[in-house]
Amino acid sequence: MGNKIGATRLGFAVLLKFFQRAGRFPAFKNDIPGVVISFVATQVGVAPEAYLQYDWQGRTIKDHRADIRRLLDFRESTVTDAEQLQQWLIAEVLPQEHQDDRLREEAYAWFRCMHLEAPTPDRLTRLIRSAAHAFEQQLYGVTFASLPVETQAALEALLVLCGFSVCSQYEYRAATTRVLTSSDTRLF
């Protein structure tokens, strides 16, 4: 930070502290509370108002993000990393935990442990929901397969009675899932 001055110095310091705390970069300038900006500004010897001049669109912020990742030995996460997170959630977390906030905390901890920059909050929400959906489908499939043949036949008859046509085992599982989850309430 020695060669940075004014808004650039403050912007870099705020990004660094946010990343150290959250494991990701803020999406917008206003994601940082004013009190935090004032505190960091005091620490780096820059007026808090300089933060308003920090450019959130240009090359400088991209370079700062790369510098921070390099300094903290992190890298940007990839699609493969996101898939690994989902598999980890399915295998290790979702069997015990279903609260969205806790799943988010676990995902952020996984990214930190792997030294990966976490995706945006919206992207992380989509990844968690996708993993939860895959876990539920897997659970339904295992549960269905463990039922006695007579029970499976009774469920199939119930589905036909309810107006679902069942053409294959896959469609049967999908139809069973729709019937079992037809209310707005999730099982978990």
Give domain status of residue 112, yes or no: yes
Whole-angstrom distance between the N-terminal and C-terminal Cα of the chain? 47
Q: In this structure, is residue 177 part of a structural domain?
A: yes
Instruction: Please count the structural domains in the chain.
Output: 3
175, 162 in Cβ contact below 8 A? no
- Are residues 86 and 128 part of one domain? yes
* 122-156 residue pLDDT tens: 999 999 999 999 999 999 888 888 889 888 888 77
Name the residue among 107, 111, 114, 72 with its Cα closest to residue 90.
Answer: 107
- Dihedral angle, C-alpha 164, 166, 170, 175, nearest 10 °: 10
* Residues of the domain holding 65: 6-73
> Band of the pLDDT at 79, cuts 50, 70, 90?
very high
Give this prediction's pTM.
Answer: 0.74
Nearest to 89 by CA among 123, 122, 134: 134
82 with 128, same domain? yes
